[in-house]
Amino acid sequence: MRSPSTITLALLISAVTTHAAHAGLNCAAAKSASEKAICADPGALAADAALGEAFNKLRDALLPEEKAGLLASQRAWLQRRDADCAGAKNPGACLREATEKRLRYLSGKPEAGPGAPFTLSPGFFVAPGGPRKTKVTVDAIKIADPAVPGAAAFNKAMGEIYRDAQVEKGFTKQELADMPAREFEYSLTTRIVYASPKLVSVHGDYYADAGGAHPNGGTQDLNFDPAGGRMFSLADLVDAEAQKKIIAHCLAEVKKQKVAQQKDTGEKEPLPTDPKDVAEATSDFRHWSFEAAGALVSYDAYAVGAYVEGSFECRLPYSFLKSLAKPAFPLP
């Protein structure tokens, strides 16, 4: 992972508030809506204090250039969290949940499962952006110990998700010169949704603005086999006949979501769904993740419909999936 050498640590430290650096939230001096909501919710306040401890512990263990990445990442995360929870019915609960997820990420702990047989660590890649350059903020997961079987393969697969994040590298010098002097943007956040000695499942959400008509977002997942030191494939999970049943289930789920969407928008009827699109998207194991209650297949915009429809998902409860899965696959 490249060091964010173009960002100075001093500049980042000066730009991050005391709370963002997690020196501790002083409720007597709380000013922002999020700070007041945290102070009014004991659970959120406890989560914030625990996050502060985890942040400081991680910061103290990092090299100076790595600290710069952590600080930039934390600042961006705080902005996203506060914006996402601003309109929540229960802001305190929203802030608590988001903070607990961030705590698990910084601590390298999964959201479900007994944990991996090795240490998973957060990794950061940031680039400041500028005219015709990409502002990049990546919160990745890595296996820090190179002696772990498959560590290089895992870290390489993670790096491939965002290796092309710097959009300007895809244009010639002349094409860039002919463009308006605007900034591109790419961000990626990852979560360890499940980890055990037999399966590590990492879910990633990305946002990309490459200067087109509109930005795009999507998902990228990794499902790692610790015992074999390799990535799992869909063929490891199910055979061809079982895959057909899953595709049929997910096709029905997508259609249901489109009907619900149509009712919300007031359209006369939902937009059509091409079964071939659902089959192709469902067969891509890079969009599968394994959570506490079941597997999640994520369909990005364009995957199973028009861009205006947005994204869709198919949830597969383990009670359903276990009847189809190969015995050797380590479902949670």
Predicted confidence (pLDDT) at residue 213 exceeds the cutoff of 80: no
Share the mean pLDDT of the chain: 88
Q: Which residues belong to CATH 3.90.640 in the chain?
A: 234-321
Arithmetic mean of pLDDT, 99-125: 95
- Tell me, what DSSP letter sits at residue 232? -
- Tell me, what DSSP letter sits at residue 170? G
Confidence band, pLDDT 50/70/90 cuts, at residue 171: confident
Arithmetic mean of pLDDT, 172-182: 87
Give the pLDDT score at 44. 94
Give the pLDDT score at 24. 62
Q: In what order do the strands lie in the sheet with 216-225?
A: 120-130, 133-143, 184-195, 200-209, 216-225, 230-231
Domain 120-231: CATH class, spelled out: alpha beta
Average the pLDDT over each of 18-22, 189-193, 217-221, 245-249 and give the range with the smallest value. 18-22
Give the Å distances, CA to CA, from 67 to 11, 119, 125, 268, 305. 12, 19, 11, 53, 41
Give the pLDDT score at 180. 84
Predicted confidence (pLDDT) at residue 109 exceeds the cutoff of 90: yes
Confidence band, pLDDT 50/70/90 cuts, at residue 168: confident
Predicted confidence (pLDDT) at residue 19 exceeds the cutoff of 60: no
Alpha carbon distance 285, 74 (integer Å):
30
Q: What percent of the chain has pLDDT over 90?
A: 66
Average the pLDDT over each of 4-13, 55-64, 162-171, 254-263 and give the range with the smallest value. 4-13
Q: Which residues belong to CATH 3.30.565.40 in the chain?
A: 120-231
| Unique residue bearing structure tokens 């997961």 | 141
Alpha carbon distance 298, 303 (integer Å):
9
* CATH code matching the domain that covers 234-321, chosen among 3.10.450, 3.30.2130, 3.90.640, 3.40.50: 3.90.640
Arithmetic mean of pLDDT, 286-296: 97
Q: Is this structure's pTM higher than 0.75?
A: yes
Predicted confidence (pLDDT) at residue 231 exceeds the cutoff of 90: yes
Confidence band, pLDDT 50/70/90 cuts, at residue 18: very low
Give the pLDDT score at 7. 28
Structure tokens given for 281: 């998207």
Nearest to 143, CA basis, from 107, 173, 118 = 118
